[in-house]
Amino acid sequence: MEIALVGFAVVLALAFLRVPIAFSMGLVGVIGFAGLNNWNWKSSLSPAAGTVLDTLQTESLSVIPLFVLMGMLVSRAGLAQELYRASNAFLGHRRGGLSMATIVACGGFSAICGSSLATAATMSKVAMPEMRAFNYTDKLATASIAAGGTLGILIPPSVILIIYGIMTEQSIDKLFLAGIIPGLIGVIFYLGAVQWTVFRDPDAGPAGARTGWADRLRSLKNVWGIVLLFVAILGGIYVGIYTTTEAAGIGAGGALLIALSRRTLTWAALADALIATIRTTATLFTVLIGAQIFQRFIVRAGMPEDLLAFVTGFDVSPLFVVFLILLVYIVLGCVFESLSMLLLTVPVFAPLVAELGLFSGYPEAQAQEVALIWFGIIVVVVTEISLITPPVGLNVFVLRGVLGDVTTGTIFRGVTPFWIADIFRLLLLVLVPMLVLIIPLTMKPFHF
């Protein structure tokens, strides 16, 4: 275990020195393997090369470029604007209504985007001018965009959930379905955070103009594309018509057809979407390869088994261990960006959670699968918190870069009620795990 701890410390040090996380983890993994094999570099480089080849040839990984492409096409089809208009038509007349409309629109856009940063950047261009026109404070306006953007990594399809599923060898289908209810709870809790903010400061979010029912119903006609894609992807997975890989192809093809039907997709926009997809996919694959090399080193060094033996040596409940793990995540989230934190910790904590006996009512193999599906959603919710907490809240810095005239401090002060709401949501999902598991438990024909 000692060499694994040293390797972990070196990765952390390299990350603080701004070395890209993919190269940090890959380098430490290769050197660590050599150290475990008496510095036999051939025995170290061979598994690393095999990892690269296996990753590039893994069929299930094709979901990443397909879902990324779907999000790129949808963002260029103008559907984010239509989502915001529809949400605004129903909520804009209330105090804080434009912020609530932003949260709902972010949730809808997340259902076909899969990226928190893309959701935050896109919605900032759509919602911020409208909220400023109605004299919303920058604190509330930017906070609602930053917090709403975090839903992009939880509400399926989620790239983070795909990476977690690959790292833990769990069903991406089940992870997607498990994220639905926690994502909806996140929307509801964020709406509550908006209401708390305007309750304390009514001038922070003045009421907007009321929209008649005729215009409200008319606005719904413009969001049919998102509803259709969401139902086609998750509905097909749930009833067992097709797998996640097939759903990704349907989603990408459907997004292209919707963009063409709206006549908003030019050749230049299509080329831009394809190039952005290639860049994002290449980045994700590089990070994933580095993480898998590091993960194999950690497992080979025996760190998960030694950590389990250490934890079980104390007379504490499995739930107490889970809370300790969450505390580690919250602390790391203050200094690490979300993907790096996930890649570093999942190889260590996932095997531990699988063996804690959290779901002992199931047969052993099924109990481990249930635990890892549940833990995947918990990890993503903790990761959401890290996206809006100082000093490394990526969504905050994305907004700062897009808007330019709003200080980072203003955004961080505004998001405080939202990450507090996230803490309550996290506690709820930990204490009531069936909120995560109820949908994947009933999916057909695949079931636990």
CA 131 – CA 92 distance, rounded (Å):
10
Q: In the structure encoding, which two tokens stand for residue 216, read together? A: 């409200």
C-alpha of 106 from chain center? 13
Name the range with the highest mean pLDDT among 153-167, 213-227, 293-307.
153-167
Q: So what's the pLDDT on residue 113?
A: 72
For residue 403, what are the CA distances in angstroms to 119, 242, 397, 434? 15, 41, 10, 40
pLDDT score of 46 more than 80: no
- Could you tell me if 382 and 346 are in contact, meaning their C-beta atoms sit under 8 angstroms apart? no
Cα–Cα–Cα angle for 305, 376, 252, nearest 5°? 135
Q: What is the mean pLDDT of the chain?
A: 83
Q: How confident is the model at residue 317 (pLDDT cuts 50, 70, 90)?
A: confident
pLDDT score of 392 more than 70: no
- Could you tell me if 164 and 63 are in contact, meaning their C-beta atoms sit under 8 angstroms apart? no
Contacts 24+ apart (CB under 8 A), 165-168: 165/376, 166/58, 166/60, 166/61, 166/288, 167/288, 167/291, 167/292, 167/295, 167/343, 167/346, 167/347, 167/350, 168/346, 168/350, 168/372, 168/376
What one-letter code names the amino acid at 268? A
Per residue in 227-264, pLDDT (tens digit) is 777 888 888 888 878 888 888 888 888 888 888 887 77
Q: So what's the pLDDT on residue 198?
A: 92
CA 370 – CA 396 distance, rounded (Å):
34
Q: Which residue has the higher pLDDT, 43 or 176?
A: 176
Q: How confident is the model at residue 107 (pLDDT cuts 50, 70, 90)?
A: confident
pLDDT score of 447 more than 50: no
Smallest CA-to-CA distance from 219 within 84, 128, 123 is with: 84
CA 9 – CA 28 distance, rounded (Å):
10
Q: In the structure encoding, which two tokens stand for residue 119, read together? A: 């959701």
- Could you tell me if 1 and 301 are in contact, meaning their C-beta atoms sit under 8 angstroms apart? yes
C-alpha of 96 from chain center? 26
Q: How confident is the model at residue 436 (pLDDT cuts 50, 70, 90)?
A: very high
CA 27 – CA 13 distance, rounded (Å):
13
Q: In the structure encoding, which two tokens stand for residue 102, read together? A: 């932003």
Q: So what's the pLDDT on residue 425?
A: 95
Contacts 24+ apart (CB under 8 A), 268-277: 269/76, 270/76, 272/76, 273/69, 273/72, 273/73, 273/76, 274/69, 274/72, 276/72, 277/65, 277/68, 277/69, 277/72
pLDDT score of 225 more than 80: no
Q: So what's the pLDDT on residue 1?
A: 62
Q: Which residue has the higher pLDDT, 193 or 361?
A: 193
Q: In the structure encoding, which two tokens stand for residue 198, read together? A: 């305007």
Q: How confident is the model at residue 189 (pLDDT cuts 50, 70, 90)?
A: very high
Name the range with the highest mean pLDDT among 19-23, 114-118, 432-436.
432-436
**Residue partners of 228: CB distance under 8 A and separation at least 6:** 254, 258
Query: In this structure, what DSSP letter does residue 206 have?
Result: -
Q: In the structure encoding, which two tokens stand for residue 187, read together? A: 């929307």
- Could you tell me if 379 and 353 are in contact, meaning their C-beta atoms sit under 8 angstroms apart? no
What whole-number percentage of the chain has pLDDT above 90?
Answer: 14
Q: Residue ranges of the alpha helices (H) in 58-171? A: 63-76, 79-91, 97-113, 116-133, 138-149, 159-168
Q: How confident is the model at residue 114 (pLDDT cuts 50, 70, 90)?
A: low
What angle separates helix 364-386 from helix 434-442, to the nearest 10 degrees? 130
Mean pLDDT, rounded, for 40-53 = 74
Q: In the structure encoding, which two tokens stand for residue 363, read together? A: 């047969």
Number of H helices and E strands in the chain, helices first, is: 24, 0
Q: So what's the pLDDT on residue 359?
A: 85
Q: So what's the pLDDT on residue 448?
A: 45
What whole-number percentage of the chain has pLDDT above 70?
Answer: 96
Smallest CA-to-CA distance from 280 within 108, 66, 76 is with: 66
For the entire predicted model, the pTM comes to 0.85
Mean pLDDT, rounded, for 297-304 = 77
Mean pLDDT, rounded, for 27-46 = 77
